Amino acid sequence: MAVNGLILLLAYLLGSIPSGLIVGKLFYKKDIREHGSGNLGGTNSFRTLGVKAGIAVTLADILKGTLAAILPLLFDSSLHMLLVGIFAVIGHMYPIFAGFRGGKAVATSGGILLAYAPYLFLFMLTFFLLSLLTSKYVSLSSILTAIATFIYALFTGDVALILVVFFLMAFVVYRHRANIKRIREKTEPKVKWFNKKK
């Protein structure tokens, strides 16, 4: 029990690592919470710091979920990988290292799936990129991808995966509620970097 508790705590702490804040302050002398949407995730990193920083932050946020999900394997624990991964997602959304103001769970959720169901992760990534290419809205693409990933999970027959993806979808939609309002009001900004060649 003590080991399992330690694993869950480590997963939360991993998720709490504020990649966007670290990259912004270390390399750009910017606190991205004071720019753009004020969010610590990859999207605001792209918006306020540029493409290279956005990619770095997104990859780091994915990696947090992946590392958290494999903790039970490293510690020879009976805890389910997906359960541990959820704690990383919670840490990402409410990071103890950044005043509990974090990201919107998309990349870290993807990292969990990369560890547990790589083909589902590839589907998620492909669907997101196609949706972004079509709509130019990161928020809308994130929401649609979460829903599509849940529908995909339904066909796997893996009850644990279905339940966890359902909760991850709920997290993503809930965290994007302000974006949904802006999309309805046609005030949500579209990405300007997606088609840029550098």
Determine contact, residues 116/96, Cβ cutoff 8 Å: no
pLDDT of residue 83: 95
- Distance, CA of 193 to CA of 44 (rounded, Å): 12
Per-residue pLDDT tens for 128-186?
Answer: 999 999 998 888 999 999 999 999 999 999 999 999 999 999 999 998 888 899 899 98
Q: How many CB atoms lie within 10 A of CB 106?
A: 30
Residue 198 has pLDDT above 50, yes or no: no
- Distance, CA of 20 to CA of 149 (rounded, Å): 25
Per-residue pLDDT tens for 118-138?
Answer: 999 999 999 999 999 999 888
- Distance, CA of 46 to CA of 52 (rounded, Å): 8
**39-48, 49-58, 83-92 — which is least confidently predicted?**
39-48
Per-residue pLDDT tens for 61-75?
Answer: 999 999 999 999 999
pLDDT of residue 42: 84
pLDDT of residue 50: 87
Q: Residue 194 — pLDDT band, cuts 50, 70, 90? A: low
pTM exceeds 0.85, yes or no: yes
How far does the chain reach from its first CA to its final CA, in angstroms?
A: 51
Domain ranges of the chain: 2-184
- Distance, CA of 11 to CA of 71 (rounded, Å): 8
Task: Please give the single-letter amino acid code of residue 136.
Answer: K
